[in-house]
Amino acid sequence: MMKREQRETQSRRKNALTREAIIETSIAILDRDGEKGLTFQALSSRLETGAGAIYWHINDKDDLLAAACDAVLHPAIATIVDHESPAHAIRGLASSLFDLLDDHPWIGSTLTRFPTQIAMIRLLEHLGGHIRAVGVHQNQEWAAASTLLMYMLGVGSQNAANAQLAREQALERSHFLDEVASAWSQLSADQYPFVQSNAERMRTHDDRDDFLTGIDFILKGIIAAGIR
Amino acid sequence: MMKREQRETQSRRKNALTREAIIETSIAILDRDGEKGLTFQALSSRLETGAGAIYWHINDKDDLLAAACDAVLHPAIATIVDHESPAHAIRGLASSLFDLLDDHPWIGSTLTRFPTQIAMIRLLEHLGGHIRAVGVHQNQEWAAASTLLMYMLGVGSQNAANAQLAREQALERSHFLDEVASAWSQLSADQYPFVQSNAERMRTHDDRDDFLTGIDFILKGIIAAGIR
DNA sequence: ACCTGAACACCGTTCAAGT
DNA sequence: ACCTGAACACCGTTCAAGT
């Protein structure tokens, strides 16, 4: 690959900059270096352009983050296949979402920060469709779908925060949770009996299992509320 | 009140700066101007000191945010009275927490961002105590308490994001939700039947009621899982 | 229409120098 | 020990000037 030669006069880039290219590169940076890694300096240097050029294609950094979030979520949500039952479908959606948030931890906080974005609407729509298929009363369907979504966002944000803290301390994620478990296990058993006695579980537990157990609790509650 | 006089030579402040005073002032700024309003410039000018002085009492901004979060949450959690049943107690805790997050929207995102902080541990401990009182199996108690906490954090972060967006657009919170409702009601009923048909609900619904309905779903699910 | 890159306002943090 | 305030490195955003 040849390096682009320095010209005496200012020259335009040959391969046009596009909004899509900017978003793709942003995603790559976010995945590699986290949310703090995405700066206009890093972005323009990777794209071999000036910082100002990017502003021709995007409004501002929030616009960029929301677009990156949508770009990752949209195909992932669309790919979800049908399931035998609506409850299985919700579980499947939750499961896919968990994996996605695990691979792209920055999505957790981004999705929460821009609630009006299209990705959130599509998520709600999917959840709502399955909720209706379960047969929830009409005046409860919104609360039911919201509860599932809020729970997913809560876990997602938490994963994002853990990933961020682990990155700052330059630790593996598992090692980071180990540190937390150690700290919690040293809490006074008098003051914090519940947390202290469950600290060991932090070391051995599977985030994914816990997440899906939570989904099951909520589903069970929604269905139980419907049939009473 | 007399204005402090300008001296020719550098002089120390007479009323000592304390960590507590810094945290109190930070909370006041956060409540008034949101998370973006808390800068070392705003803080040092309110405290009539230099930016560097603050660093003698705190480690960095994250330390300050976590401390402010704890300072608000600690007394609020401690004040919660006993209830007739553990389920009522959890509902009461959730209700108090919702009001607190409504008054101090910055807590939602801060609490999520620093998961190891003491406020979170205390929340988990309270929830866990009530969960045990409900009689949940030991190998499910952690998942049950976590589910409730993750849901609360999800709603809290969402409230924080809404408050932030409303502030940026200089709108009342209710007016902001109106805008969202209008946008959603204009979605295609073919593509987004669930969201579109529930848009109107956004205008009339009570956030607090929805939140507590979600808590009830989860509680019902936890109890149902236990007795099966 | 699209791009360049310097300039701007602002941020968190540090630190030599003061008392 | 505690405080001052200038300095530093870095950030998002703007904009006159180029093609």
- Reported as a single tens digit per residue, the pLDDT across B184-206 is 999 999 999 999 999 988 888 88
Nearest to B153 among A157, A187, A191 (CB): A157
Task: Please answer whether residues A109 and A161 qualify as being in contact, where contact means their C-beta atoms are separated by less than 8 angstroms.
Answer: yes
Task: Please answer whether residues A224 and A144 qualify as being in contact, where contact means their C-beta atoms are separated by less than 8 angstroms.
Answer: no
Whether the per-residue pLDDT at A10 is higher than 50: the answer is yes
CA of A57 to C1' of D17 (A): 19
DSSP3 helix / strand / coil % (chain B, rounded to 5): 75, 0, 25
Q: Which residues of A touch B114 (CB under 8 A)?
A: 161, 165
Quick one: pLDDT band at residue B41, thresholds 50, 70, 90? very high
- B64 CB-near residues (< 8 Å, 6+ apart): B22, B23, B26, B38, B58
pLDDT at A11: 57
Distance, CA of B49 to CA of B13 (rounded, Å): 8
Q: Which of B164, B162, B143 is nearest to B202 (CA)?
A: B162
Q: Quick check: B198 and A165 CB within 8 A?
A: no
Quick one: pLDDT band at residue A8, thresholds 50, 70, 90? very low
Whether the per-residue pLDDT at A182 is higher than 60: the answer is yes
Count other C-beta atoms under 10 Å from residue A152's C-beta: 26
Quick one: pLDDT band at residue B150, thresholds 50, 70, 90? very high
pLDDT at A14: 59
Strand C at less than 7 A from CB of B12: yes
Task: Please answer whether residues A26 and A64 qualify as being in contact, where contact means their C-beta atoms are separated by less than 8 angstroms.
Answer: yes
Q: Which residues of B touch A222 (CB under 8 A)?
A: 217, 221
* A to B CB pairs, distance under 8 Å: 172
Whether the per-residue pLDDT at A4 is higher than 70: the answer is no
Task: Please answer whether residues A162 and B163 qualify as being in contact, where contact means their C-beta atoms are separated by less than 8 angstroms.
Answer: no
CA of B51 to C1' of C19 (A): 18
Quick one: pLDDT band at residue B52, thresholds 50, 70, 90? very high
Kindly report the average pLDDT of chain B as a whole number.
Answer: 89
pLDDT at B116: 83
